[in-house]
A and B are shown apart, each in its own frame.
Chain A
């Protein structure tokens, strides 16, 4: 005997859950198609000796691509170039974005203009930014003229593109110039979320601006600092277009052959898409390890006022 039970009404919690899932669904689909699927595909491809144009079924070679890379001097040079670039750019981006945001937050007149001015390079494409700096670093460009005027060394070519160390510094400068404004804005937004009453109480207690920055602003900015440091570090590890354009314009490859550039050359120039995929998986692992370490060392991402 069939008995029909009345349908149970949804609770408010269940209804909110459903809507929450619905709203998240487009993002999940987007990330699944454009992020997770390519990652899994790259992982699978990295296990084959696949050539990009070949119709032939690629041979399954297991971990041989990884073994080759771990024994390759060129790959380890790319790891070195990537880590040097990341350390040089990420640390200066983090420190100076905090400093500049702190200074901007104290300026009452012209602060908006300065924020816009700092942010402007961030809206340029990386290719345009690198092209501008190619002209600046040209032997006859203003970088040489500026340094020579400053140091009273007329006619010296500081070899921004050709000196193995200076070409690395040049790529860091381009990246720093492009992204400093973006991270300053993120830090300023974090500062704006700190209640003014805390500063008022500190002022009444006699704290000066310096003390307020280090005792109130900096500790309460911790979530923002973690966010900025992870974002800037990941951006630096993925750097490509600056190094690509520099090498296309005559700069030597080895000092700035970052992992992404090596992936491009291996996959597109040499047609070895299996090996390039293995390199991209190793880069993913490096990025995940660094992100995990940053989360662990920062311990908390929550601040209560």
Chain B
């Protein structure tokens, strides 16, 4: 028995010695990089080609591109980093990426690798403010895979079918949105078979918080100490959502299928959806006939009639970052590859992805993109999405409050009180 135990221990020691050597790298030897990104069929052929070109231009460097579903990449990254096994290069939504910067998990941009003489010169390449979320304490921790905002897409055919003129009747205010949706909606009993518009219930901080801010409310006060500021604004917003849901005018609900994915198919089930420029490439991929028909348009994000702030949906970003635990050479080539991707911004734009460099935003290509002017105008009246260590938790509480008034029969006053108390607890806990 002792011999068996000794044999097992020896096997374990040999195995650990074998597997422990994985990260060691020769100073001039080959460099292997792993790049994790979310699934996007439109982007895959472009990036695979860019990887081949980069590898050809940098002998000895190999890049393995790994895609994960967009719904799962955040948790996969988190668990990989928790086990100190994160990829060399990755992109993630701004709300999630903040934690990586705050916990020193990502390396600052290597200026030499990206060919910048100084940080100021690098910042100057991009539209003002677009790198603010990753520019922290004088260091830049990411470059954009995309920075985008959402406006309202309209199906003209459904508008006309409901007796509306899309040129004239498109909703400018949220009150218009209710009126127009009421005219478009079809129901069998109380089951909706055609919606006018419906919200993106998975993205409260991007799409619904600006509605509160239009009315003068805030998620967190400017000094960061008080949660859910502006009782009247919040109550008015919650009353609006209560009326939107099945217990009110029954115009939509989180339990119906995601409006954005239905829109592309032009199946007479959704007239308006809230999404970004990338949707155009997706419509083209899913339903080229609808794309070519010209029976769709993009209009600005509405405001309340009594709005005190003219605010559009928040802009947010997917930033490319580099693992701080990678070797120096891996970090260098990671940034070099990210910069290589930035140099092909026009090709990204052709699949609806905006890397907001000044050069791109002023290019004829960008200005000729359908409805680029609408997105650009909405971007000007937008602010960056709330991002902090507690943003996911606050979004969950926000979601619970809205859905409790829409679906759970909870009064807006009670939902507000609960939200205020719970959000304050999160803020106080730090």
Contact = CB atoms under 8 A, between A and B. Distances in A.
B209 to A, nearest CB: 18
Nearest to B105: A53
A156 B192 CA distance: 10
Interface string A16-32: 00100110010001000
A157 B255 CA distance: 11
Query: Which applies to chain A's interface (DSSP): helix, strand, loop or mixed?
Result: loop
Contact of A269 (B187, B256, B393): B393
A144 interface: yes
A139 B250 CA distance: 13
A250 interface: yes
Contact of A21 (B1, B190, B406): B1
Contact of B246 (A29, A157, A270): A157
B253 A162 contact: yes
A175 B113 CA distance: 53
Interface stretch (A34-42, A87-95, A251-259): A251-259
B253 A250 contact: yes
B78 A157 contact: no
Given A22-B4, A250-B255, A52 B187 contact: no
Contacts of B390: 270
A37 to B, nearest CB: 13
Interface in B212-255: 246, 253-255
Interface stretch (B60-68, B96-104, B122-130): B96-104
Interface string A72-87: 0000000000000000
A29 B11 CA distance: 13
A157 B201 contact: no
Given A18-B1, A155-B187, A52 B82 contact: yes
Contact of A55 (B103, B246, B407): B103
B189 interface: yes
Contacts, number: 95
A2 interface: no
A52 B78 contact: yes
A250 B201 contact: yes
Contacts of B408: 162, 164, 252
Interface residues of A, number: 38
Contact of B392 (A157, A160, A163, A269): A269
Interface in B343-395: 389-390, 392-393
B4 A25 contact: yes
A58 interface: no
Contacts of B100: 53
Interface string A135-157: 00011100010001000001111
A159 B250 CA distance: 13
B75 interface: yes
Contacts of A155: 187-191
A273 B256 CA distance: 33
A139 B192 contact: yes
A18 B201 CA distance: 61
A164 B403 CA distance: 11
Given A53-B99, A250-B254, A252-B404, A154 B78 contact: no
B168 interface: no
Contacts of B407: 159, 162-163, 252
B103 A53 contact: yes
| Band of interface residues on B | 35 or more
Contacts of B201: 250
A276 B8 CA distance: 34
B235 to A, nearest CB: 20
Interface in A94-151: 138-140, 144, 148
Contacts of A197: none
A154 B67 CA distance: 45
Contacts of A148: 189
Interface string B71-95: 1000100110110000000000000
A243 to B, nearest CB: 14
B103 A268 contact: no
A139 B389 contact: no
Given A53-B78, A253-B396, A265-B396, A271 B99 contact: yes
A15 interface: no
Contacts of A182: none
A52 B102 CA distance: 12
Contacts of A268: 75, 78-79
A222 interface: no
Contacts of B71: 248
A250 B257 CA distance: 9
26 contacts: A25-B4, A25-B8, A29-B8, A53-B100, A53-B103, A55-B105, A139-B191, A155-B188, A155-B190, A156-B191, A157-B190, A159-B246, A159-B407, A160-B255, A162-B254, A162-B407, A162-B408, A163-B407, A248-B71, A248-B202, A250-B254, A250-B256, A252-B408, A268-B79, A271-B78, A271-B99
